[in-house]
Structure 1
Amino acid sequence: MVVTIPKERVDMADIHGKPVRRVKVSKQRQISIPRDFYDALDLDDEAIVEYTGKEIVIRPAVFEDVDFSEDILKDLVKQGYSGDELIEEFSRIKSKIPKAMDYMKREAMEQPIVAESLDDYLDALEDGEENE
């Protein structure tokens, strides 16, 4: 579920059938999320905030517990590992996953923010692939 706070001022209770609330923005740039929105999103102590160029979108911060164990084991067995050697190699690879995930997260956060429409962005990507 996505809560969107329009950039322009809104005095209506609903826009296009979606609930809308006017909220104050403090001098510290803080807003209070209306209780019904907060409850509906099942928010906790973190949220994802995205600026689209026209709106601020607030989403629940969902953390997945990603476990690659089965994939790692299948790959190692395919490579011929077994017994103690399999366990040792599995442990070595699995211990590197948190660092790899942190790297991927940092890399993703360094990507430029898309300011144009999704269609324009995808068209630009396709144009770039054609030039390669």
Structure 2
Amino acid sequence: MGVAAMAEPLTLKISSKRQITIPAKVYESAGFKDYALCTWTDKGMFLQPLDVDDEDVTVDILRYLIKEGYDGEELISHYKEMKKKVVSVKDKLNEAERDIAEGRVGAVDEMQERIRAKYGL
């Protein structure tokens, strides 16, 4: 299935847990891996593959905005707004690894015991 075949609208089922399943052929053809970048546009949600090994997601933001027809000061303005909304996946993964290494993350029962001991609950 090529990109042209994916240009047609695609109906997706949303589960009771608010999860969307992308059909395997579409998933593979579009180049999705473990992460996706979701961007809100005036036409709705825009979902695209996100490669977390690419530290600079800003290039993808700029490509998207240029494709949407923005340039000059309008491009800069929209870029600044979108950049605020993008969470660095690598930063979040590094933060999670620090939390684990420093003992802030553990089994729920252990954390409950620490909270009870600390606050006398």
Normalising by structure 1, report the TM-score.
0.35
Greater radius of gyration (CA): 1
Normalising by structure 2, report the TM-score.
0.38
Higher percent of residues as helix:
2
